[in-house]
Amino acid sequence: MIVTVTLNPALDKTLVIPRFTLDAVNRAVSGRQDPGGKGVNVSKVLKSLGGDSLATGFLGGSSGTVISAELERMQIRSDFVRTQGETRTNLKVFDPERHTYTDLNEPGAAVSQDDLQQLKKKLFDVTSPGDIVLFAGSLPAGVSVSDPVSWASELKSRGVLVAVDQDGETLREMIKICPFLVKPNEHELFELMALPDKEIPTLCAAARRLVQLGIMHVIVSLGEKGALFVDETGVLHGKAPRVDAVSTVGAGDALTAAYLYATKSDFKREDAARFAIACATAKVTCPGSSPPQREAVDAMIPQIEIQVLNE
């Protein structure tokens, strides 16, 4: 089983505004709402691929109710801790003429110590050795970095495979427990490892150092340049053709979801990388944070280029 942990989920509101302009009145031509947050997005993609997951974390208020109802409608299993605060709403602005994406993200309501204990109990009650638990996204007020790090460490000691898609100090501390998988983007890896630049050879060397620490899989998302897949056998660079992007929101989450799905399905290494890149590429053609359909992912696979970088 795959469990996605989203400590700071969001109701994503996406507006399409041609020629979006700062310090001016802007009129949207369309809009949509989606349940969001990194772990939630991963669960959505897993469902669309034909996989299964349990989404958990914190939800509160009317926004939390909307997210819960939408996940139920999508037939995605969830078991969130209900909190007193209101789950945040994140605004995404897509300008189809300038091809820009602007994110305005709220910080998220605080959670209590009782909320934290409830979520920890849920995690340990539902997981077994061999399960994958993904910790993804930012931390709300009331959650210290030590909370998810200590949970992840204990889960790992029980035979659970811990995956991490977080940034900043949380990622830095998570690295110390040597998770099964980490997925920084190029900017996050640049900051994490204090790199001199973001060139491919530099990123490859940094990812290899993480593998040498004991992390089995390091995936570095590179935006339009694809992604690096690094393990003890070497480095793969996956690249996709250019597509007409509608929304980049959740593209990295689609990459993570597809790779976790491939891992659970025993894909060969290059096939897993190709599948993950295809999924992320298909996702950017979908509005908001909506997931790509499996048919679109499969159609994209033959167009994905995988290069071995073992020099």
To the nearest 10°, the Cα dihedral for 264, 295, 9, 116? -20
pLDDT in tens, the chain (311 residues): 999 999 999 999 999 999 999 999 999 999 999 999 999 999 999 999 999 999 999 999 999 999 999 999 999 999 999 999 999 999 999 898 988 889 899 988 899 999 999 999 999 999 999 999 999 999 999 999 999 999 999 999 999 999 999 999 999 999 999 999 999 999 999 999 999 999 999 999 999 999 999 999 999 999 999 999 999 999 999 999 999 888 888 999 999 999 999 999 999 999 999 999 999 999 999 988 899 999 999 999 999 999 999 75
Domain that holds residue 217: 2-308
**Beta strands 81-83; 2-6: pairing state:** unpaired
Cα separation values, 161 from 121, 130, 220, 255, Å: 17, 6, 19, 18
How buried is residue 216: exposed, middle or buried, by Cβ count under 10 Å (0-12/13-18/19+)?
A: middle
Q: CB-hemisphere CA count at 13 Å for 178? A: 9
Query: What's the pLDDT at 311?
Result: 55
The whole-angstrom separation of Cα 279 and Cα 253 is 10
* Predicted TM-score of the model (pTM): 0.94
**Angle, helix 269-283 to helix 251-264, in steps of 10 degrees:** 150
Task: Report the DSSP beta bridge partners of residue 104.
Answer: 91
109 contact partners, CB below 8 Å, separation of at least 6: 60, 61, 83, 84, 85, 86, 87, 88, 140, 141
- In angstroms and rounded to an integer, the radius of gyration of the C-alpha atoms of the chain is 19
179-to-37, 41, 216, 217, 278 alpha-carbon distances in Å: 21, 21, 7, 9, 25
* Helix pair angle (38-49, 61-73), 10° resolution: 10
Decide if 125 is catalytic: no
Considering Cα of 187, then 190, then 196, then 197, what sign does the dihedral take? negative
Residue-by-residue DSSP string for 222-285: -GGG-EEEEETTEEEEEE------S--TTHHHHHHHHHHHHHHTT--HHHHHHHHHHHHHHHTT
Residue 247: the pLDDT is 85
The answer to whether 65 touches 82, Cβ cutoff 8 Å, is no
Q: Which of 253, 266, 271, 298 is catalytic?
A: 253
- What CATH number is given to the structural domain containing 58? 3.40.1190.20
Q: Look at the chain and report how many structural domains it folds into.
A: 1
